[in-house]
Structure 1
């Protein structure tokens, strides 16, 4: 695949938490389980965060400590296990007060009743509309966004100075570079050896009129309408096979191999996100950011991933947690720091405007405006395995597109229906 501080506390948050005392304390690690007599008299919050983002939050934590005399413990948590551990631990009272994560965790969080709604009020207008949309589920907003990310086609301009627009043109241009002895691969995208990568390939797929789910009249994803079964699905599957046969999709190239290979100048194209750009620049590459190439007749619509902060439904310090998230993590300073740490375009408009002085950031942001938030509905968990495995088998030549794609759709429909 997927990546906030000042002013007066919003009235909605105060209403939700007005009866709570700042002297309560949330916990998330073994030493937090000590009895009240061992705790400091000052209030304490805990936040689960991955190692990459923790350094960017230190200034916000220090400001909150200085202003409110409330400590925020940043508990480093493995990203792969954070969602499920949060769902398991919050109901027991042992989870954190807050967690950092992508918006597509939201459906499971709401389904399990482990996150509290967040009243952004006028602050919502300070963020990109797509970011607020992603953090909204069944009409309620649950998270404060800080970054929007999506993939694009990164082009090595030393190998190919001019952009192309369709996937067939990309493959043809890349093949010419390979045939000229200037590169080893015409096109790169990382493929998981067991599950492929429907996330990265999704923008191309949507150009065939094949979203993963259709939307209802309110714009929400409708789990009863599986777009994977649309007529263009088989056409997309056939083109996957053709591009693989042409050497543009290689099942032996993982995400790490694709990154290393591109940074060595061995391919003109890499379908990836902004998280890989810093290492490209360190490698001395001159790059351009192109829109997702199309295969069908419709626009390419990549997934948008929105990262943000969620407050536990069982937070023992709900008032303090709300103030920290709404009034400290929403500031330009906090959002600027998170951008500087991870390179993901900020969700806060003011921070994005500054970051977009970099044409690479601006280009990713422009492409993201044409994207759609990854579905946060719980049924999405039932989609990935069959979808990715089928694409991988087609790319490997182990499955016939016209038979494999409808079989995959039927299997996913059964699983989604439960």
Structure 2
């Protein structure tokens, strides 16, 4: 079992005391003053912790590591790495002993890191219960936790309150009806584009009980596809219907969907905080809601989680553990990271303090979301997934069930033959 820093300090203090008493001990009738070794507190943590952060996160982490240094005395060498290189450089350099002690990044790096043996499991213990379930699941791989999460983001349903002040719909079909009643060009916007966009359609897909991969009881993903069979086929039929009813349009990509929503051409859009910040900055009155179910089950968006990993070859594992497990997991630090970065805290206690109604809406929508799979097989899924969906929506695939089953077969082949 991992011994905490306080426990190690207490043990060290006891060892020093016993050492002082075991040498040059006075006779029984001698009175002595306490020795320096017996009264000196255990030494503070010392040394330097090397941490890698990319350009998108470094400004958020700078004040955090300064605070860590002030509290512990541990110097942090914060190294900025290009976002396009940080992940591959970490995998390449850790085995040589040249990598950092800690790396800040996204949870979907976990599978690659574990397969390459470059990260160590972390032991949050009872602290894990204080985090959003999806955040812990996101960093779990093969039953082990490999990172401490600090921020969460996901998509949700965003409403233009000027067009529809209240949403009564409890199903996606009812939502479409409300959108049509508003008299706008589009009842609801979900970006697609020529290559499709399975990410933004995923809440609808999961509401049919057709996740991309199955999950273990602890939330970690298997490489067994979950989107085949009757549930997946029913979702494919629903996609065809949405295309025929002009609810979904392959011609509407992300930029087009954002512009249409800003222009008041739809009361609803399924999107994330990367667009809502633009909406609010332009004075739009919006509300963020969970995506209603289309298939009867809960609509679960993908959840992206940011966190900290400890290198498997860290030269300073005690210092790395102190930062990642004991410091980063505190309510104070998680709240400060939210205030600096504008993303929902992964720690529930900090998330509950968020007074921004837009972010609170995303929090509610993603509370039971599905973490983006971090298993290596996920990378090959997108090319089949989005293409097939857009073919069904556009009518290029006349038989949605046949198209979907062909997609599933191609996905399975990519899993079974990864090098082909």
Q: Select 1:132's aligned residue among 132, 136, 154.
A: 136
Other-structure match for 1:26: none
Structure exhibiting the larger radius of gyration computed from Cα positions: 2
User: Is the contact made by 2:143 and 2:220 (CA closer than 8 Å) also made in structure 1?
Assistant: no
Partner residue, 1:28: none
1:3-18 matched pairs, under 5 angstroms: 9=5
Tell me what 1:168 maps to. 173
Corresponding residue for 1:59?
A: 63
Match of 1:213 in 2: 213
Find 1:370's aligned residue among 362, 368, 374: 368
* Equivalent position SS for 2:120: coil
SS at match of 2:353: helix
Offset of 1:80 from its aligned partner?
4.7
Cα distance in 2 for partners of 1:314, 1:220 equals 24
Distance (whole Å) between structure 2 residues aligned to residue 338 and residue 318 of structure 1: 23
Matching residue of 1:70? 74
Do the aligned partners of residues 273 and 62 (structure 1) sit closer, same or farther apart at CA in structure 2, a change above 3 Å counting? same
* Aligned 8 A contact 2:141 2:221 in 1: no
- Give secondary structure in 2 for the equivalent of 1:228: coil
Equivalent residue number for residue 32 of structure 1: none
Does the 8 Å contact 1:275/1:342 carry over to 2? Answer: no
Alpha-carbon distance in 2 for matches of 1:171, 1:386:
27
Q: What is the distance in 1 between the residues matched to 2:191 and 2:85?
A: 22
1:191 and 1:134 map into 2 onto residues whose CA distance is: 25
Corresponding residue for residue 23 of structure 1: none
Q: How big is the shift at 1:69?
A: 4.2
For structure 2, the residue ranges without an aligned partner over 5 or more in a row are 12-45
| TM-score normalised to structure 2 length | 0.81
Structure 1 spans left out of the alignment, 5+ residues: 1-7, 16-41
After TM superposition, give the deviation of residue 410 of structure 1 in Å.
0.2
Q: Give the whole-Å Cα distance in 2 for the aligned partners of 1:159 and 1:333.
A: 39
For the residues of structure 1 that align with 2:383 and 2:340, how far apart are their CA atoms? Answer: 32
Residue 358 of structure 2 is matched in structure 1 by 360
Distance 1:152 1:316, change over 3 A: same
CA contact (8 A) 1:146 1:308 kept: yes
| CA distance in 1: counterparts of 2:192 and 2:6, whole angstroms | 44
Q: Which whole-Å deviations, capped at 9, do the CAs of 1:83-112 have from their partners, x for residues lacking one?
A: 333223322333332222222221111111
- Compare 121-130 and 338-347 and name the one that shifted more: 121-130
Shift of 1:384: 1.9
- Provide the secondary structure at the position in 1 that maps to 2:344: coil
Write the mapping of 1:338-349 to structure 2, written as runs, cut at 5 A. Answer: 338-349=337-348
2:94 to 77, 90, 98: 90
Map of 2:35 onto structure 1? none
1:284 maps to 283
Separation in structure 1 between the aligned mates of residue 275 and residue 340 of structure 2, nearest angstrom: 13
Distance 1:343 1:184 in 2: 32
Q: Which residue of 1 aligns with 2:153?
A: 149
The aligned counterpart of 1:329 is 328
Q: How does 1:22-41 map to 2 (within 5 A)?
A: none
Which residue number corresponds to residue 244 of structure 1? 243
Greater relative contact order (Cα < 8 A, sep 6+): 1
Question: Helix, strand or coil: the match of 1:66?
Answer: helix
Find the residue that maps to 2:164 and give its secondary structure: coil
Aligned CA distance change for structure 1 residues 170 and 80 (closer, same or farther; 3 Å) = farther
**Helix, strand or coil at the partner of 2:345:** coil
- 2:265 corresponding residue in structure 1: 266
- Cα distance, 1:266 vs structure 2: 2.9
Q: For residue 200 of structure 1, what is the aligned residue in structure 2? A: 200
Superposition deviation, residue 299 in structure 1: 2.1
TM-score, reference length from structure 1: 0.82
| Residue 159 of structure 1, aligned match among 159, 163, 168 | 163
Count of residues paired in the alignment? 377
1:380 Cα deviation from its structure 2 partner: 1.9
Distance, in Å, in 2 between the alignment partners of 1:62 and 1:380 is 37
